[in-house]
Amino acid sequence: MSGVALPLSFFVPLLTALVVFVIGVRRAYGVILLGALTTLAVALYVAYAVAVGGPQVHYLGGWEPPLGVELYADGLSALMLAMTALVGAGVTLYAGPYLRGKGHDGERFWPLWLVQWATLNGTFLSADLFNLYVMLELLTLTAAPLAAMAGDRPSLAAAMRYLLLALLGSMAYLLGVALLYGGTGTLHLREAGELAGAEPYTAVAAALMTAGLFAKAAVFPLHIWLMPAHSNAPAPASAALSALVAKAGLYLVLRLWLWTFPALLSAPMGWLIGGLGAVAVVYGSVQALRQPRLKQVIAYSTIAQLGYLLLLLPLVALPAAAVSAWHGVVLHALAHGFAKAGAFLAAGNMIYCLGHDRLEGLRGVTPYLSVTLLALGLAFVSLMGLPPSGGFLAKWLLLEGALAAGQWFWGGVVLLGGLIAAAYSFRVLALAHAEVPHGYAEIRSPRRLPPAMEWAPLALVLLAYGMLLGGVPILELLDQGAPEGVR
Amino acid sequence: MSLDAVHELLPLWALLASVITAVVIFALRDHRQRQRTFWNLFGASVKLVLVLLMLHGVMLGHSYEVVYPVLPGVTLLLTVDALALLFAFLSAVLWLVTTVYAVAYLEHSGQRARFFGFFSLCVAATFGIALAGNLFTFFLFYELLTLATWPLVVHRGHPAALAAGRTYLAYTLGGGVALLTGVVAVQAALGDVAFSAGGIPAFSDWAEAEPFQATAVLALMLAGVGVKAALVPLHRWLPVAMVAPAPVSALLHAVAVVKAGAFGVVRILQDVAGPEVAQTLGVAPVLVALAAVTILYGSVRALAQTDLKRRLAFSTVSQVSYITLGVALGGPLALLGGLVHLVHQGLMKITLFFCAGYYAETRGIHRIDELDGIGPRMPWISAAFTVGALGMIGLPPVAGFISKWYLGLGALEQGQTWLLGVLVLSTLLNAAYFLPVLRRIWMLPEPAGRPEVPPERASRWLLYPALFTAAAALLAGLLAAWDVSPLGWAQRIVEQEYPAP
């Protein structure tokens, strides 16, 4: 059974997309929900199978590499798969009423989103550098139209900018893969790692692939596309793009450096990449502090939060720090996924009710957006890494790793990032507590939220808090198939 | 689950009592006032009963422990020892009292679901701080307290409240960063270590091997808790936070926030570093000096305040440092004085804030010069105020006297005679800023033209809590020799911290 689960987690959303595309959204809403729930069940089953039986391998069609396609799930893949499935289920439940309420029929949204979900799962399960290229390309090709869905000038421009940068990134990545293939004769992720030493050509290949992925994951200084693209997309699409798609790029960066290029990970290289992450943390947070609209704040926060993931590279080479830092970074990726998706969906509720997401509009909305504001507040608490959230556990582990190895600089980055995150979060939350100014006429009609929209953000955010109870099993799962140094 | 297992998990149930109350209240709509009041009081009473059960258990020699592994090598640990119960019992009693007061106080304001939800969460966090058995758990609830009190501080939503909220966060989150750094550094160096009376043995070994690091870590942690304990120069948030509604001020000052800080000082000095290590590393003497400065500084600033609540706020800055002083001095008698003041200051200060809120609600009195002649007109509330004020000065038989007595003895025991001067000076200053208020209340004639408001307009439920806490402060002093008085209980703690050789 576990053998079938890996391909199923790729093909179920893909098939659902196909069915929806053929019979039309109007009649297929039940199919969408069924597909989403099946994918969720399959992903959770994969996580269970990996936790019990160790890494799972499946050869598509029974063809072994190098001829066939290998699907491979270790602890990291399983966790990313499960997080994607939970966020994806939330986004799916939310998107139905949201799109109906905004007057879209979802004709374009659903096939794109479902293919994107399949592609995300494919990215996490691929063990082959070329397959990964295909998946990355598909991710871009589904993400760009989602970002452009509003169809107005800002979102079209943003999507175009994203598309161009991401394609440039793909080309760099592909070039790197070609180099590596030329040198090692294999495209297999782990085999290439065994064959590729610290030679000049592997260094060039690693640099090209990393730079390409940085463009796709909006790592500073290639971040410029993210804010407009994520803040102008429809809320459910923003949630998926910020929580999942951008993270898939960084997932691959970490995968490559830990599995394929560990030999290249010298101290200066770690400092270079970690330094970019640190700049992203500070820069993204400071920008978030200055934005006038809620979705812009959340989008800039994504740039900052993704930066934390890169802090792993300077720490992972130090034995005292490696395990804690690795655990912390993965927990961060999970907690950020839940919190960020919840935050964007909450922002969507604000747009749904008020027709805009300017921060000033938060004044006095508490009475009829209370559940939404609770979700938003809890999401922000996790983003700034305060207890009792999953973000806090991640911050704790990262800090523990940094301090255990005497790396006070990286510890300082983590703490500083948390403080600025608190500043931008409480700027938003304070407005939600602020009284309505005098002479302010009630012009907006308090449009009632459908229950799915009201509760989906809260449910997603609460998953980040559930991590406080599930930390130990999650990290045990992560250790399945992890490289020697980080177990 | 067998009854025994249920009994073992008592700390968890008591914690959940407040958390569940908070969740239920958040879920209730704003106008469901009766249901909310019911849940509020029900939650507070259940919690008090559970704490009393644990108190009973601890007196019989039982110890409770709830462990949950959160991460590999990191555990959430709730333990019930005598010190934990001192703070837990104080917060459980005062929560119930403050809830009664707050229900009456906020009867006609908006956003009550939000207010009372966070109010309960705040007490849950305080309870967690009291029962925390290791630094991780302590930090978790310490930060949760910051998060839960912020909505209470900004509750009114006007610009002054929002500005106060910003200051509050800047200080407390900054302190949180310092605390987190210290706590994680301990974790990185020593692993998951539980609090232990008289100091963690591994910590003292570490302090010997790496005195510089241990000093830095200790200083960071103390700076972190020093913010909430309002040690000069980290005290500025406290007077600013006065814009919050009166029950919040009462809670902030007497039970939750400043006490969490002071309690943190106790835990870190006594149960992490241990008094001897803190002394050798030079952290304790610095803390003594800071506490002495804070005691005098707070009193001097209080003298200059014309607003009643602000005068009380600066008085808190001064009074909470008695606790820090007692712990930092590092002897059994001084510790006894500090611990017993943790309870006494809570009882007296909450009384004073209840009274200040009562004056403000019924007569619109905010400034001290408006209090002229209010005593004969409102004898009960003014009597409560008088008890609180006299206790703060340290006049027997009110509880404050006991605290100062043992602090003085402790200073002598440690050979720090100059501190007696500080205590005397502080007492004189206390008298200088409280006695004129009492004179205005009781001696001065009522100004002509004060609007006639029948006292019945204010709910009697604003009065009873103040009377109750005033009586408690008086009884804590009168019955100090009793086994389960705050003093008796503090003695039990001191015996554990300094076991007789």
Is residue B32 pLDDT above 90, yes or no? no
Q: What is the mean pLDDT of residues A288-294?
A: 93
Is residue A23 pLDDT above 60, yes or no? yes
SS3 state of residue B210: coil
The B residues from 159 to 178 touching A (CB cutoff 8 Å) are 162, 165-166, 169, 173-174, 176-177
CB contact under 8 A, B162 and A430: yes
Integer Cα distance of B9 and A481 in angstroms = 37
Is residue A229 pLDDT above 60, yes or no? yes
Instruction: Please state which of the ranges A452-466, B18-32, B314-328 shows the lowest mean pLDDT.
Output: B18-32
Q: What is the mean pLDDT of residues A226-252?
A: 92
Residues of A within 8 A of B154 (CB-CB) are 430, 433-434
SS3 state of residue B70: strand
Nearest to B492, CA basis, from B335, B371, B385, B348: B335
CB contact under 8 A, A366 and B111: yes
Q: Is the entire prediction scored with pTM above 0.90?
A: yes
CB contact under 8 A, B139 and A388: no
| Contact present, A93 and A110 (Cβ < 8 Å) | no
- Considering the domain boundaries, does residue B436 fall inside one? yes
Residues of B within 8 A of A289 (CB-CB) are none
Name the residue type at position B389.
A
Q: What is the mean pLDDT of residues B221-230?
A: 94
- Range of B392's domain? 282-501
Residues of B within 8 A of A430 (CB-CB) are 154, 162, 165-166
Q: Which helix (H) or strand (E) holds B69?
A: strand B64-71
- Considering the domain boundaries, does residue B381 fall inside one? yes
Nearest to A70, CA basis, from A29, A115, A133, A125: A125
Mutation for B interface: A435, A454, A467, most B CBs within 10 A: A435
pLDDT tier for residue B19 given thresholds of 50, 70 and 90:
very high
Name the residue type at position A303.
I
A426: contact with B, CB 8 A cutoff: yes
In the prediction, which pLDDT does A1 show?
Answer: 47
- Considering the domain boundaries, does residue B326 fall inside one? yes
CA distance B160 to chain A (A): 10
Number of neighbours of residue A199 by Cβ within 10 angstroms: 13
In the prediction, which pLDDT does B339 show?
Answer: 93
CA distance B26 to chain A (A): 9
CA nearest B163 in A: which residue?
A: A430
CB contact under 8 A, A403 and B150: no
Residues of A within 8 A of B26 (CB-CB) are 374
In the structure encoding, which two tokens stand for residue B294, read together?
């804070």
Residues of A within 8 A of B158 (CB-CB) are 435
Q: How many residues does chain B have?
A: 501
Residues of B within 8 A of A411 (CB-CB) are 181, 184
- Considering the domain boundaries, does residue B313 fall inside one? yes
Mutation for B interface: A396, A467, A486, most B CBs within 10 A: A396
Residues of A within 8 A of B30 (CB-CB) are 367
Q: Domain spans of chain A?
A: 266-436+443-487
In the prediction, which pLDDT does B501 show?
Answer: 66
B172-203 pLDDT tens trace: 999 999 999 999 999 999 999 999 988 899 99
Name the residue type at position A109.
F
Nearest to B348, CA basis, from B487, B246, B228, B466: B466
| Contact present, A74 and A482 (Cβ < 8 Å) | yes
From residue B232, alpha-carbon distances to A16, A209, A417, B227 in Å are 64, 54, 27, 9
In the prediction, which pLDDT does A443 show?
Answer: 52
Structural domain count of chain B: 1
In the prediction, which pLDDT does B457 show?
Answer: 55
A75-116 pLDDT tens trace: 999 999 999 999 999 999 999 899 888 877 678 899 999 999
A266: contact with B, CB 8 A cutoff: no
B199: left (phi over 0), alpha (psi -120 to 50) or beta: left
A230: contact with B, CB 8 A cutoff: no
- Considering the domain boundaries, does residue B362 fall inside one? yes
| Contact present, A299 and A290 (Cβ < 8 Å) | no
Nearest CB to A472: which of B72, B151, B177?
B72
The A residues from 440 to 469 touching B (CB cutoff 8 Å) are 468-469
Residues of A within 8 A of B70 (CB-CB) are 393, 468, 471-472
A28-85 pLDDT tens trace: 888 999 999 999 999 999 999 999 999 998 888 788 777 778 899 999 999 999 999 9
CA nearest B170 in A: which residue?
A: A423
In the structure encoding, which two tokens stand for residue A312, read together?
């792993």
B37-71 pLDDT tens trace: 899 899 999 999 999 999 999 888 888 999 999 99
From residue B496, alpha-carbon distances to A217, A378, B62, B280, B490 in Å are 56, 40, 15, 21, 10
From residue B329, alpha-carbon distances to A75, A301, B164, B345, B414 in Å are 52, 46, 33, 19, 7
B330-368 pLDDT tens trace: 889 999 999 999 999 999 999 999 999 888 888 888 888
pLDDT tier for residue A250 given thresholds of 50, 70 and 90:
very high
The rounded radius of gyration (Å) of the Cα atoms in chain A is 21
In the prediction, which pLDDT does B2 show?
Answer: 76
Nearest to B163, CA basis, from B255, B254, B244, B259: B244
Integer Cα distance of B242 and B389 in angstroms = 19
What backbone phi and psi angles, to 5 degrees, belong to B177? Answer: -65, -45
Is residue A466 pLDDT above 80, yes or no? yes
Nearest CB to A415: which of B114, B141, B177?
B177
The B residues from 320 to 359 touching A (CB cutoff 8 Å) are none
Q: What is the mean pLDDT of residues B147-167?
A: 90
pLDDT tier for residue B455 given thresholds of 50, 70 and 90:
low
Is residue A150 pLDDT above 90, yes or no? no
- Considering the domain boundaries, does residue B27 fall inside one? no
Place of tokens 């205590």: B423
Is residue B472 pLDDT above 70, yes or no? yes
A471: contact with B, CB 8 A cutoff: yes
Is residue B470 pLDDT above 90, yes or no? yes
Is residue B459 pLDDT above 80, yes or no? no
In the prediction, which pLDDT does B253 show?
Answer: 67
What does the mean pLDDT of chain A come to?
90
Mutation for B interface: A362, A370, A428, most B CBs within 10 A: A370
Q: What is the mean pLDDT of residues B452-458?
A: 57
In the prediction, which pLDDT does A365 show?
Answer: 67
Better-scored residue on pLDDT, A407 or B29: A407
CA nearest B136 in A: which residue?
A: A396
Residues of A within 8 A of B188 (CB-CB) are 400, 403-404
Is residue A371 pLDDT above 50, yes or no? yes
Nearest CB to B140: which of A388, A404, A419?
A388
